[in-house]
Amino acid sequence: MRKHLALISFYLVCGLTQTATSNAQGLPEYWERSNAMATVESVNIDTAVYELGNISSLADADTTLTRLRNLHTRGDLPLPAREAVIYQFTRSLAGLPREAVAPDVMQHLRTYQARVLVPHEDHGDAFVPLFNIRGAAAGVENGWQRAEFSYEAETLLETDPASLVSTYVESTASNQRTAYLDVLRQARMTEIEAIQDIALKKLGEAPVLTPLLGITAVITADTFAVQQLLIHGQGAGLSSTLVQLGQQLPLSETAALLDFAVRQAPVTNASLAISAWWPRLNHETESRDLLLLLLDDPELGASAALALAQNPDIQTLKILQDTAGGETAAARRAQMALDFNRDQLIGEVQP
């Protein structure tokens, strides 16, 4: 009986302790965004932010966490202002090296439960934190990680470019790949050419190298590299690379590459090349004739029609009108180009 009563007492104490802890953390408060921001602006939070961000003690987890806990009980700062302090403090950490901030402090910020909630700007029946402290902490962590990966890439670029390419291929961290690409954009031409030569040998079996080789091809304007991208490239990075190349290559070279793409690249990549390069080639007779011939192609005909519909000159319109007067696939696509061009013109005229 005594043991039974003791257990009941123990659970009651635990329950009361848990309730007290929950109450100390506080329940969420629902605000109108404008009222909450006016409340923040009504007080001076700069001193509180400075006190939290004292670099001499940031590496001391106990000191910084105590300051964060004390902030929650400050009567001179309303709740929106207190969370504004924590938010600004969190963002300020991005300018410091990772080792300057205690891991426990970052853990506290990553798991912080925001209490000031405001209506979502697009969905008024949903509420979101006024200050996304968790998101700010994640952004700081991402920035540190990017800086570390950038240093890694700079080292490999100078000492072992083959390892840089291999690491890029094997990486599953988007931050790492993005950092490598950022470093490559700032590299010396000799380093870029070395990376390009290595990547070209691997692209066929590792199309994930498309963004990396895309950067080098845009910088070197190497025709062979562009051709390999057209044949083996994959993913969203290919389209943006082709657009950039089309803006900087001579028209004659772009026209030759378009011809190469149509004849040798996979259908998807050839379509991307048509879309990316036709706007600059639409007055080039050979390129126009190439696309007109493609109207009868079962795979590229639609892409050719859509391209020819974009700002056609008088000669192109006449050829499309002449071609549209039949029952062939080319005739149907020529009519599609004419219809699309007409609808586009109507849309531009109408308010």
Say which residues have a Cβ less than 8 Å from residue 203's Cβ, sequence separation at least 6.
Answer: 209, 210, 213, 228, 229, 232, 233
| SS3 readout for 137-152 | HHHHHHHHHHHHHHHH
Q: What distances in angstroms separate CA 161 from CA 180, 196, 200, 206, 277, one per listed residue?
A: 11, 10, 13, 16, 32
Buried b (16+ CB within 10 A) or exposed e, 103-114: eebbebbbebeb
> Digits of tens for pLDDT over the chain (351 positions)?
443 434 334 333 333 333 333 334 578 999 999 999 999 999 999 999 988 888 888 889 999 999 999 998 888 999 999 999 999 999 999 999 999 999 999 999 999 999 999 999 888 789 999 999 999 999 999 999 999 999 999 999 999 999 999 999 999 999 999 999 999 999 999 999 999 999 999 999 999 999 999 999 999 999 999 999 999 999 978 999 999 999 999 999 999 999 999 999 999 999 999 999 999 999 999 999 999 999 999 999 999 999 999 888 899 999 999 999 888 999 999 999 999 888 665 544 344
Dihedral pair phi/psi, residue 263, rounded to 5°: -90, -25
Phi-psi region of 320 (alpha: psi -120 to 50; beta: other; left: phi over 0): alpha
DSSP H stretches of helix in the chain: 2-25, 33-41, 46-52, 61-71, 79-92, 103-110, 133-159, 161-170, 174-185, 189-202, 210-220, 223-232, 236-248, 251-264, 267-281, 285-294, 301-308, 314-323, 329-349
Q: How many other CB atoms are there within 10 angstroms of residue 129's CB atom?
A: 18
d(CA 209, CA 167): 11
Among 305, 313, 309, CA closest to 333:
305
Q: What is the pTM of this model?
A: 0.78
Beta pairing class for 29-30 and 116-119: parallel
